[in-house]
Amino acid sequence: MDPLTIGIVGVVVLCILIAIGMHVAYAGALIGLFGLAAAMGGKQIDAESGQGLIDAIMLGFPRAVGIAGTIPFAELAHYSLSVLPMFVIIGYMAYHAQLTQGAFRCMRMWFSWLPGGLAVSTVFATAAFAAVSGTSTATAAVFSRIAIPEMLRYGYKPGFSAGVVAAGGTLASLIPPSGILVVYAIIVEESVGRLLVAGFIPGIISAIIYAVAIIVRVKLNPSLGGPVYGVEWGERLRSLGEIWGILAVVTVVVGGIYTGVMTPTESGAVGAMIVFLLSLWKGMTWTQFSTALQESAKTAVMIITIIWGILIMVRFLGFSGLPAEVERLILGLEVDRIWVLIIILLTYVVLGMFMDAMGMLLITLPLVHPIILSLGYDSVWFGIIVVKMVEICLITPPIGLNCFVVSGVRPDIPLPQVFKGIWWFFVCDVLTVALLIAFPEIVMWLPNTMFGN
């Protein structure tokens, strides 16, 4: 059995292991290790008896262990990766700094007069909170406790309210600081700073499209939730003081990276310090501080474990020659490159029905990314597109992790009702992806104008 065949078998077995419930990190590391051993065994495999495969694995196992053993340090001991725990801790500290509540109150003062005003306020508040939280599920969970009760109090439909929160939570995937953009950058060896800056405008556009869709939908069906009047200008102006903390973090993270004054890690560290000081000012207890640190450590370690497990798989695939072969076959097709891109994006939609966002990216990028570069697409631009596709998978059944989170926090709103409430936002996301494909300058303008670019 040649290395290419072993690579194909490895991918199939990996998908099976993940489908039956094995964690993606362990599945990737296991298949990568034994795949390397089989491919490096240097022995023709007797497919009928299977004895040749075992012999090859035994022969190649010591070398495979040596290669796999160096990956966790060699591939992860990079300065750029240190930004990840900084971004994670910003998100956990932001809740104790009451930035969530402040963002919602401010947006409510300014936008509640619109049709579906509380829903519009929720979307803009989740976008603001996304600037201090790189986790979509955390954003959805927090706003399920804050925004949904307020919408229900004013007569908004439960499914509609839950759908708004689930969709709004996905904005944290694009708007910096975004953990998943950092992971993408590490896997494809792209600039973390350029990717984070590139996600800012598409994230804001996504929020605006969501808000417009809510207004249109409520205009068509006023029973979903009406406007809230009675807010005076004095209250609106005073409410701006409740989001200065978010503005400070945005200025540090995005502004620091964009101007070149700070590296992503440095901006993340300063942003974490700002949120920490705000948390102390708001009365964060020692127990809350300890919990935030523990949860941040758990999340960061989980992500890093997934990365090194998949990197072993990536090394195996590279040795087997499978990515190069797939690239050759794709480039040999006599079709316009846009159709290849569309097929790849549709593949993510299908995979999103069965896999979580992180695992989906880590498994597909080693095969997909070389093809994207060969087709002439920009790596940063594709990163934003693919993360937007991941956002879609966060709200679509049967996985729809954000929908599960919202229903878990609000058990009075059944999961089918939540899924029913997100279908307009699915259309919005498809529209956003089409917009970013048609006008790539939306993504690339900001990173291309970075200082020191």
Query: Nearest CA to 4 among 323, 314, 363?
Result: 323
Q: Return per-residue pLDDT of the chain as tens, 453 residues.
A: 677 888 888 888 887 887 787 887 888 889 988 888 887 775 545 444 445 667 777 777 888 888 888 877 776 677 767 788 888 888 778 777 777 778 888 998 999 899 999 999 999 998 888 877 767 777 888 888 888 998 998 899 999 999 999 999 888 888 888 888 888 888 888 888 899 899 999 999 999 999 999 999 999 998 888 888 888 888 888 888 878 888 888 888 888 888 888 888 888 888 888 888 888 887 888 888 888 888 888 877 877 887 788 788 888 888 888 878 887 888 777 788 899 999 889 888 877 776 667 777 877 888 889 899 988 999 999 999 999 988 888 788 777 778 888 888 888 888 888 888 888 898 999 999 999 999 999 999 999 988 765
- Distance separating alpha carbons of residues 122 and 134, to the nearest angstrom: 17
- Distance separating alpha carbons of residues 206 and 342, to the nearest angstrom: 20
Asked if 123 and 424 count as a contact pair (C-beta separation under 8 A), the reply is no
CA-CA-CA-CA torsion sign (402, 430, 101, 232): negative
23 alpha carbon, distance to own chain's centre: 18
100 burial (CB, 10 Å; 0-12 / 13-18 / 19+) is buried
55 burial (CB, 10 Å; 0-12 / 13-18 / 19+) is middle
Asked if 399 and 354 count as a contact pair (C-beta separation under 8 A), the reply is yes
Place of tokens 């700002």: 274
Asked if 45 and 52 count as a contact pair (C-beta separation under 8 A), the reply is yes
CA-CA-CA-CA torsion sign (243, 238, 224, 216): negative
Output the pTM of the full model.
0.83
C-alpha angle 422-425-429 in degrees, rounded to nearest 5:
135
What is the structure's pLDDT at 99? Answer: 75
- Distance separating alpha carbons of residues 355 and 211, to the nearest angstrom: 28
Q: Give the largest Cα separation in the chain, rounded.
A: 81
What is the structure's pLDDT at 378? Answer: 93
Other CB atoms within 10 A of residue 214 CB: 29
- Distance separating alpha carbons of residues 330 and 254, to the nearest angstrom: 37
What is the structure's pLDDT at 384? Answer: 94
